[in-house]
Structure 1
Amino acid sequence: MRERIKQFDYILIGTILVLCIFGLIMVYTSSYTLGVLDYNDGLHFFKRQLAFLGIGLIVMTVSSFISLKFAGRMSPLLIFLSGILLIMVLTPQFGVERNSSQRWVNLGIVFQPSEIVKIFLVIYFARFYSKRKEHFDSFLYGVLPPLVIFAGIAFLIILQPDLGTTIHLLAICGVIIIFSGVKKLHIIGLAITGAGLAGFLAYIEPYRFRRLTSFIAPFEDLQGSGYQLTSSFVSMASGGLFGAGLGNSVQKLGYLPEAHTDFIMSVIVEELGVIGMAIVIGCYLVILFRGIKIANEASNDYYRLLAIGITFQIIIQAVINLGAMSGLMPITGIPLPFVSYGGTSLVFMMLASGILINVSGRKKPSVNTQAGRTTYR
């Protein structure tokens, strides 16, 4: 155990903690006015985020020491549990509706099951594809089975409706498949199918199609579908290189919707400028490079795919959020990892981070010939 703790990636741990603390500060400054107006308490969102951060730190610590092999063996049961939770979301007895979407479940505590489903799917996909390498020539036996499971999970999430999370899940699982070593022809076929289905689902639902068109031409409907994105543009344009100063954002005062959640980066740019944005993006790049390093040093294929899945779960979510607030991608409602306000997202993201830290302590053994014993890189 002590040897594993020594091998933990402390650069990764430090970067995650920096993002969490920075996010806590930005939640405070971006939500203070809303807290006063809605709850007569400017610290309302800050205190909740601080509490969730405390829970997240405990969860991250615990998941850094759990048995990953046991988690892999339990992955089919975890997937079954995922299905049950997602079905409960859609029932009137347990489902909770917010902003015209039913994505939350009330089991004494209210949380968003799709966030933990991401982790369960990563574990399941990593274990399955690490065990089927000798069968990759057969699409039916070596590649398809987890995709059937994914289709069922995705269908339940689409019903909430939540296309953004479905696309996020599709991208995460796709990355695991690519790094697993399946045939390129299979990857190309799956990529075309996935892109086609995502486009079809976006096209057939009017509100999704409006989001797509507002992303392409936001200035054509400034007071309607393009309002959120154009407000984000105004916020970012006001920041310049160094920003207006912490706490001095104007757009957060009721002009920019979701200023403390999905569009918190817009407030960061307005208050701290391009420098603030560069620091946040730099932290995500550190997570990306450390995650890839952890995967390359993992002691077996299961751990390697697990590290890849968790790393890209974080990075893809960051890319989707940053792309939406900058107008490079459609708005999906995906929060910025570790930074945006949101208890479910923060706690389960820290759970995923704990698993990545766990893998970092399981490096390939190498023989130290001079000392005559096995050491770890």
Structure 2
Amino acid sequence: MIVKKLKHIDYPFTIFILLFALFGLVMIYSASFPMSSLFYGDATYFFMKQVQWFVIGFIFLVITAIVPYEVIGKLSALLVIASVVLLILVLVPGVGVERNNSQRWIQLSTFVFQPTEAVKLFMIIYFAYIYAKKQSYIDQFKKGVLPPLIVLAIVFLLVLQQPDLGTATMILLSCGIIVACSGVRFRHLILLASIAVAGFSYFAYSSPYRLERLTSFRQAFNDPLGDGYQLVNSYIAIGSGGIWGNGLGNSVQKLGYLPEAHTDFIMAVILEEIGVVGLAIIMFSYLYIMFRGVRIAKQAPTMFAKLLAVGLTFQLIIQAVINLGAVSGLLPITGITLPFISYGGSSLVFTMITAGLLINISATNHHKVN
């Protein structure tokens, strides 16, 4: 079974994913070496940690590319339970770790883990599996459509408590795309979309903190040393890069001016150092992943595989859009990382697992054709 799966692996797509992640490692080193030197006395501190996570992510990519995706689907109920447990644990004092006024991490000894990175993937697997099973009565709202949405609502509310409206919204959108592609009635889809928009609006405007995060990005220059500081420095980085950039390693904004330069604002450093060329590399890469993912979904042999491929693909694309929108000032700053590129162990590992599952489905498609 494993030998057959390896024979049909989509190696061009796999190599592309690995090269894209390696590009991320290069940019993480470039964006982080000043802070690494200043705080840790080692210019490679963040880079080497990310290399370790890359190796772990690669191992999981190989495993998820080989293990039959049907097996993973059968574990979906356990994955949902694990998601809820993790989201509760992160809110427990002494277990959850608070950073920047958000409690999004669990620390076990020296190991720090961000549960929402796992939850994003687990919910995609659960929704794809459960809606694939409901195909014979998908037109019945109460029986076919509603039950998984109750689980989604619980997860959404738990993520919101961290607080993390950006990730909660991303989970909502990714699962919503699966629902839209599952064959539900159009009127049910409109009803669900209306409820989602109303619910999002309520939670966004009911908290001063969330409202400020959603609106402050539009007036960044009104408070350039306060709420607008990060975005203003992102603009400076982007504007100084031009077409060809100032040269790899030559960013000025990463020298303490731009907060989170190697994490969610790494795109600003890329634009400053390699200019529009860097933007072209990033945009081409995500467009390629999107079109390749959609093609994998179209060719998938089962409804579960189709929905899973769609969910995995658009989860990556939605995350990229939210990050790039924040860096450019078109969307609120959420702290969401750029897939394959930003620093972050949990993010990289689960992004690699996502890619592994897409490679898995692609290999199955190729095997069925041949």
TM score, norm. by length of structure 2: 0.96
Distance 1:214 1:153 in 2: 27
Q: How does 1:1-377 map to 2 (within 5 A)?
A: 1=1, 2-108=3-109, 109-363=111-365, 376=369
Q: How many residues align?
A: 368
**What SS does structure 1 have at the residue aligned with 2:284?**
helix
Query: Alpha-carbon deviations, 1:86-122, whole Å to 9, x = none?
Result: 1111112321111211111123422011111111111
Q: For the Cα contact (< 8 Å) 2:181–2:307, is it kept in 1?
A: yes
Distance 2:108 2:44 in 1: 26
Offset at 1:170? 0.5
What percent identity do the matched residue pairs reach? Answer: 51
Distance 1:225 1:192 in 2: 31
Query: Alpha-carbon deviations, 1:258-278, whole Å to 9, x = none?
Result: 100010000000000001111
Q: For the Cα contact (< 8 Å) 1:12–1:286, is it kept in 2?
A: no
Offset at 1:253? 0.7
**What SS does structure 2 have at the residue aligned with 1:249?**
coil
Distance 1:134 1:376 in 2: 26
Query: Alpha-carbon deviations, 1:107-164, whole Å to 9, x = none?
Result: 3422011111111111110011111122122111110111000111111111111111
Q: For the Cα contact (< 8 Å) 1:325–1:331, is it kept in 2?
A: yes
**What SS does structure 1 have at the residue aligned with 2:287?**
helix
Offset at 1:71? 1.6
**What SS does structure 2 have at the residue aligned with 1:217?**
helix
**What SS does structure 2 have at the residue aligned with 1:64?**
helix
Q: For the Cα contact (< 8 Å) 1:300–1:364, is it kept in 2?
A: no
Q: Which moved more, 1:73-82 or 1:162-171?
A: 73-82
CA shift in 2, pair 1:364/1:141, >3 Å: farther
Matched letter for residue 194 of structure 2 = I
TM score, norm. by length of structure 1: 0.95
Distance 1:252 1:147 in 2: 42
* C-alpha RMSD of matched pairs (Å): 1.3
Matched letter for residue 63 of structure 1 = T
Runs of 5+ consecutive residues of structure 1 not aligned to the other structure? 366-374
Q: For the Cα contact (< 8 Å) 1:210–1:225, is it kept in 2?
A: no
**What SS does structure 2 have at the residue aligned with 1:333?**
coil
1:368 counterpart residue number? none
Offset at 1:200? 2.0
**What SS does structure 2 have at the residue aligned with 1:26?**
helix
Offset at 1:364? 7.3
**What SS does structure 2 have at the residue aligned with 1:35?**
helix
